[in-house]
């Protein structure tokens, strides 16, 4: 049975009707609302490419049912920063040249942003632990960790 939902995404309200409230949030964002982030990676919550913030917490949108959100606020990478005013993490990723293909960056940036919000002075060990579930097929892991350390050690 179709369900009408109102989602707050990146500060804007979006009304949509879904046939199945168990549909992943990722599908609502990409297919219903036409957003090009987050990315579809594994579809199993294992790689992190689909990470968004729900009420400030990093969650895997590919396994989060859209009908479970209620009044929660969803933030995507689009709300993190802009080209003119990048988030400190985005600036650090650029400075460290921490991307090869960039497909996984959504997950790394959104997970790291939630991590440093809760632990602004995270150590390298805490960063490695907090980002341990993320995958990067290009092997840019070390540069990405250096970028996050750049922010936490600033």
Same domain, 125 and 62: no
Same domain, 105 and 147: yes
Paired residues of 13 in beta bridges: 8
150, 154, 119, 148: which is closest to 134 by C-alpha? 148
Q: What is the pLDDT of residue 1?
A: 75
72 has pLDDT over 90 = yes
State which of 15, 50, 79 marks the end of a domain: 79
Q: What is the pLDDT of residue 71?
A: 94
How many other C-beta atoms lie within 10 A of the C-beta of residue 24?
Answer: 21
Same domain, 143 and 100: yes
Domain with 73, as residue range(s), is 3-79
How many other C-beta atoms lie within 10 A of the C-beta of residue 133?
Answer: 15
On the 0-12 / 13-18 / 19+ scale of CB atoms within 10 A, 68 is exposed
Same domain, 68 and 95: no
- pLDDT of 100-144, one tens digit each? 888 999 999 999 999 999 999 999 999 999 999 999 998 999 999
Same domain, 94 and 74: no
23 has pLDDT over 80 = yes
Same domain, 55 and 113: no
CA distances from 93 to 108, 125, 147 (A): 10, 19, 5
Same domain, 55 and 101: no
Split into its structural domains, the chain has a count of 2
Q: At CA 24, angle to CA 69 and CA 8, rounded to 5? A: 35
Residue 96 three-state SS: coil
Q: In CATH, what number is assigned to the domain containing residue 137?
A: 1.10.150.120
Q: In CATH, what number is assigned to the domain containing residue 26?
A: 3.10.20.30
Q: What is the pLDDT of residue 153?
A: 95
Distance linking the first and last C-alpha atoms of the chain: 51
**pLDDT level of residue 2 (50, 70, 90 thresholds):** confident
Does a cis peptide bond (omega within 30 degrees of 0) precede residue 150?
no
Same domain, 72 and 114: no
């Amino acid at each position: 049975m179709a369900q009408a939902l109102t989602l707050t995404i990146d500060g804007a309200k979006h009304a949509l009707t879904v046939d199945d409230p168990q549909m992943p949030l990722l599908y609502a964002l990409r297919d219903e609302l036409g957003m090009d982030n987050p990315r579809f990676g594994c579809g199993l919550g294992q790689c992190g490419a689909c990470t968004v913030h729900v009420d400030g917490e990093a969650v895997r949108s590919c396994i989060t049912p859209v009908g479970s959100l209620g009044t929660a606020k969803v933030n995507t990478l689009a709300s993190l920063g802009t080209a003119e005013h990048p988030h400190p993490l985005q600036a650090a990723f650029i400075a460290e040249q921490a991307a090869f293909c960039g497909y996984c960056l959504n997950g790394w940036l959104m997970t790291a942003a939630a991590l440093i919000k809760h632990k602004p002075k995270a150590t390298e060990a805490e960063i490695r632990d907090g980002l341990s579930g993320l995958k990067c097929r290009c092997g840019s892991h070390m540069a990405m960790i250096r970028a996050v350390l750049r922010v936490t050690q600033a």
